[in-house]
């Protein structure tokens, strides 16, 4: 595998906004229409063997790292999935939902022109390195902003990086039908000597190395390990790869819920955790209920809805209109088309949930209900119970992939 040179260090940062609320919506806004118009204009100048939009190939979740064989192990990056299309000077950044992201990362566009082959399509991840040397997903979220002036400012203060991990097209060749080990070999050759902020993801044939990555680099913000069969062609939108993610449990207060979109039962539980001062913070949600469970949850929570808001620790949020406060029903740029209104319940019930990792004071992804905990008091549900990963820097991750990481 070709080496990745250049320093992967802390990005300069401004004080991030605490809210992702009302500044923009993800679809139907003038912002998105402008972005789409720009991408459509660029498409008229592109003649690549693989044209946008492309739905990225995905991975299925497994609980253990599969054994060695005809597979390659890679770190799982926690950023924005992006497919880069380059045809000469034209660059388009396509997202997982097939919407263009080019305007949000102007600093990446110039770097991609410098380091990528003149005609190619590359699959990878956009990430931001924080002050501690690890990935900063909150800073990445702030980059999706409606104001061009704000985008330019953040492109200097919190510059993004691009980590490449697959090659879909090169020159006049559509590489999607080719096996992954061929695509990886061509990607290594194409990015040989590449410099920051463009990187080639580390990779290894060793399960032992992959397990070490899984243990060591969670503190750098990595999401786990991805396992890719070497003979696998690029199958758009299919879950043909495998991913292994961290899983832990936590006891949380049930502070409310959201109705399921079909109106039949509860779609998610709104969870809370106490800080050292005893303040109950919104920490995330629990989802993934069957139709039967949704109805059962509605019956169980019904008695706790009575007069819930009168003494609820989150009652003041109903009157807050300040973007600086994030509440369970707050819209984000990614959720503007969903109904996020929530119903309070008296915070007297405790659940044990499974989660992968934290992002600040919130669960990074939706959690899953394991069981009710009638033996626990709500006040005992604190942040102190959570396991904290050991900090690590991205430079260690890239350095770890320089030895014995050939894909062929």
pLDDT at residue 407 tops 50: no
The number of angstroms, rounded, from the C-alpha of 142 to the middle of its chain's C-alpha atoms is: 13
Give the pLDDT score at 391: 59
The number of angstroms, rounded, from the C-alpha of 200 to the middle of its chain's C-alpha atoms is: 19
* Arch. (CATH architecture) of 248-376: Beta Barrel (2.40)
Q: Are 267 and 289 in contact (CB under 8 A)?
A: yes
Q: Are 343 and 305 in contact (CB under 8 A)?
A: yes
22 catalytically annotated: no
Give the pLDDT score at 193: 85
pLDDT at residue 216 tops 50: yes
Distances (CA, A) of 243 to 62, 73, 126, 154, 228: 6, 10, 18, 31, 9
Q: How far apart are CA 393 and CA 395, in angstroms?
A: 5
Beta pairing class for 280-287 and 367-372 = parallel
pLDDT at residue 25 tops 60: no
**Domain range summary for the chain, segments of one domain joined by +:** 30-246+392-400, 248-376
Give the pLDDT score at 245: 85
Report pLDDT digits (tens) over 339-396: 458 899 999 999 999 988 888 889 988 999 999 998 789 999 999 888 766 556 667 7
Report the SS3 class of residue 142: helix
Residue in 22, 76, 153, 292 annotated catalytic: 76
C-alpha angle 97-360-400 in degrees, rounded to nearest 5:
75
Report pLDDT digits (tens) over 143-152: 988 899 999 9
Q: Which element (helix H / strand E) includes 123?
A: strand 119-128
Query: Which tokens in the block code for residue 31?
Result: 């912002």
CATH class of 30-246+392-400: alpha beta
Give the pLDDT score at 223: 81
């Amino acid at each position: 595998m070709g080496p990745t040179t250049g320093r992967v260090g802390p990005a300069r940062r401004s004080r991030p906004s605490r809210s992702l609320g009302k500044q923009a919506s993800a679809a139907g806004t003038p912002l998105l229409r402008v972005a789409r118009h720009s991408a459509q204009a660029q498409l008229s100048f592109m003649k690549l063997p693989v044209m946008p939009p492309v739905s990225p190939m995905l991975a299925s979740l497994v609980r253990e790292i599969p054994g060695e064989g005809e597979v390659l192990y890679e770190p799982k990056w926690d950023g924005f999935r992006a497919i880069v299309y380059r045809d000469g000077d034209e660059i388009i950044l396509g997202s997982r939902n097939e919407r263009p992201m080019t305007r949000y990362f102007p600093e990446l566009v110039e770097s991609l022109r410098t380091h990528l082959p003149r005609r190619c399509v590359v699959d990878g991840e956009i990430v931001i390195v924080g002050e501690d040397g690890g990935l900063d997903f909150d800073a990445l979220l702030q980059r999706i902003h409606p104001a061009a002036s704000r985008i330019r400012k953040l492109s200097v203060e919190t510059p993004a990086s691009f980590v490449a991990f697959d090659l879909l097209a090169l020159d006049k060749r559509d590489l999607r039908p080719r096996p992954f080990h061929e695509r990886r070999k061509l990607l290594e050759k194409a990015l040989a000597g590449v410099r920051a902020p463009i990187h080639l993801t580390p990779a290894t044939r060793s399960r032992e190395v992959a397990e070490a990555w899984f243990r060591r680099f969670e503190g750098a913000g990595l999401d786990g390990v991805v396992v890719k069969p070497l003979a696998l062609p690029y199958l758009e939108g299919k879950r043909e790869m495998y991913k292994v993610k961290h899983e832990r449990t936590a006891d949380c207060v049930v502070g409310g819920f959201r109705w399921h979109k079909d109106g039949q039962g509860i779609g998610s539980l709104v969870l809370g955790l106490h800080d050292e001062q005893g303040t109950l913070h919104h920490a995330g949600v629990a989802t993934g209920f069957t139709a039967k469970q949704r109805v059962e949850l509605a019956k169980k929570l019904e008695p706790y809805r009575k007069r819930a808001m009168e003494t609820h620790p989150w009652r003041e949020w109903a009157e807050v209109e300040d973007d600086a406060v994030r509440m369970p029903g707050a819209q984000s740029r990614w959720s503007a088309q969903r109904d996020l209104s929530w119903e309070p319940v008296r915070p007297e019930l405790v659940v044990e949930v499974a989660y992968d990792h934290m992002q600040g004071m919130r669960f990074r992804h939706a959690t899953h209900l394991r069981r009710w905990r009638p033996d626990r008091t709500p006040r005992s549900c604190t942040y102190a119970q959570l396991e904290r990963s050991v900090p690590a820097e991205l430079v260690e991750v890239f350095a770890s992939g320089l030895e014995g990481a050939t894909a062929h």
